Amino acid sequence: MSATDEVLDLLPAYVADELDAAERERVERALAGSPRLHEELGGYRRLFVLLAALADEEVVLTASAERRMLRQLAIGWYLSGTVRFVEGLAGAYGRALIYYLGGGRAARTQQGGR
């Protein structure tokens, strides 16, 4: 792992102010000479601001919103199962129909097969 990669791993802790003095100084020295590290640092700072804002906001679902969400999940689950069932069924019937209409044994017999 390169020195830059090691400092990249320290950036989240640097933004959260969780580094000891030696690690903090190491990160600051690396930041002084690296535009890439500055860019990454900016991304982590924005991420921490967003996370802090989300932590302060409580999300409460109303009863009707919860029912709608559960209904949509149930419908999605039901439809995905139904689609798989119909695809399997149609595939089996389709193969049987082709076989029955001559795509099966009769076609192989005409081609000299068994």
The domain in which residue 28 lies consists of 3-56
44 pLDDT more than 70: yes
Residue at which a domain ends, from 16, 36, 56 = 56
Residue 76 near residue 43, CB atoms below 8 Å: no
- Cα separation, 47 vs 14, in Å, equals 13
7 pLDDT more than 50: yes
Residue 26 near residue 10, CB atoms below 8 Å: yes
107 pLDDT more than 60: no
Looking at the structure, do residues 50 and 68 belong to the same domain, yes or no?
no
- Number of domains the chain is built from: 2
Q: State residue 106's pLDDT score.
A: 46
30 pLDDT more than 90: yes
108 pLDDT more than 60: no
Looking at the structure, do residues 49 and 79 belong to the same domain, yes or no?
no
Looking at the structure, do residues 26 and 48 belong to the same domain, yes or no?
yes
Looking at the structure, do residues 45 and 8 belong to the same domain, yes or no?
yes
Per-residue pLDDT reduced to its tens digit, 59-102: 666 787 778 878 888 887 777 777 677 667 777 666 666 666 66
- Cα separation, 7 vs 29, in Å, equals 10
Q: ∠61-63-65 over CA atoms, to 5°? A: 60
